[in-house]
């Protein structure tokens, strides 16, 4: 039978942990609301810009000369795994690391790999591996703003343009809802031409001024920066959703554990009282028999 003092200490410890998980859940919920609003407002603009760009570039003569769309033999690959700076968010970080590691070991096995981790968890993981590391943007989530993020996007775009990499892959959690985040390995560069049957049948004819080529030159870099920013916003919202869910589960588990511990405490206390009564009765009987 457990000691009463030990059970009481355990109850106090679990109660303290439950208070912490409740507080973390509330903080995550507040941050999630802001992050969710950002990604929801961002998506329609990003999707429409990409659709217009695909429409215009598909009809442009010499559109294959767009530097960011040039297909090369894949020998040098840049991986950009996007995680959080902190833990306590379930499998959020481990899912990204597992997906990135799987891609590196299967699809890109034998290629020259460089990793540009975003988020302290990804940086801590990949700095222990043998891959060359670009660690300048590991703490990007300290300031999730377009002006800050676009610096990282421009670095990646310039490296691709200079021929340092033949392909750039983003690995991140796409935000669906509070309870659902989908891990994606998305080709960032070169630009993939994703033209569905619906987009071909509903293709519109745009009046382009001053020229189609000039618009492409202006739209492509901005579209890529927005795509990179969208991945960061997706990951940011997914992190808070995952942490909120994890802390909610932790709070529920603490509550269940408290019920069990209180039951053990009451049974132990009842057993101790019963033993004391038996000892008193036995002592009284011993006194009577001695008389």
Query: Any idea which residues carry the catalytic annotation?
Result: 89
Distance CA 174, CA 183 (A): 6
- Estimate the crossing angle of helix 212-290 against helix 92-105, to 10 degrees: 130
Q: Where are the alpha helices (DSSP H) in the chain?
A: 4-58, 92-105, 120-126, 146-161, 197-201, 212-290
Let me know how long the chain is.
Answer: 291
Residues 6+ apart with CB under 8 A from 223: 46, 49, 50, 53
Distance CA 137, CA 243 (A): 23
């Amino acid at each position: 039978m457990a000691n009463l003092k030990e059970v009481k200490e355990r109850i106090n410890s679990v109660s303290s942990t439950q208070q912490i998980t409740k507080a973390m859940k509330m903080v995550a919920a507040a941050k999630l609301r802001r992050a969710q609003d950002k990604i929801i407002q961002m998506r329609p603009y990003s999707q429409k810009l990409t659709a217009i760009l695909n429409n215009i570039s598909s009809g442009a003569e010499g559109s294959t000369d767009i530097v960011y769309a040039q297909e090369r033999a894949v020998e040098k690959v840049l991986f950009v795994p996007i995680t959080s700076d902190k833990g306590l968010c379930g499998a959020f970080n481990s899912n990204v690391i597992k997906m990135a590691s799987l891609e590196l070991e299967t699809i890109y096995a034998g290629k020259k790999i460089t990793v540009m981790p975003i988020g302290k968890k990804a940086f801590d993981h990949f700095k222990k591996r043998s891959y060359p590391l670009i660690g300048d943007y590991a703490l990007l989530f300290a300031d999730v703003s377009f002006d800050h993020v676009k610096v990282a996007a421009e670095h990646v775009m310039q490296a691709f343009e200079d021929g340092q990499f033949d392909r750039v892959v983003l690995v991140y959690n796409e935000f669906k809802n509070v309870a659902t985040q989908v891990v994606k390995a998305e080709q960032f560069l070169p630009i993939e031409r994703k033209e569905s049957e619906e987009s071909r049948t509903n293709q519109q004819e745009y009046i382009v001024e001053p020229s189609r080529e000039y618009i492409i030159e202006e739209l492509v870099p901005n579209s890529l920066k927005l795509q990179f920013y969208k991945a960061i916003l997706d990951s940011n919202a997914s992190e808070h959703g995952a942490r909120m869910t994890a802390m909610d589960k932790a709070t529920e588990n603490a509550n269940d554990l408290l019920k069990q511990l209180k039951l053990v405490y009451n049974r132990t206390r009842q057993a101790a009282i019963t033993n004391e009564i038996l000892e008193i009765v036995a002592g009284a009987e011993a006194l009577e028999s001695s008389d």
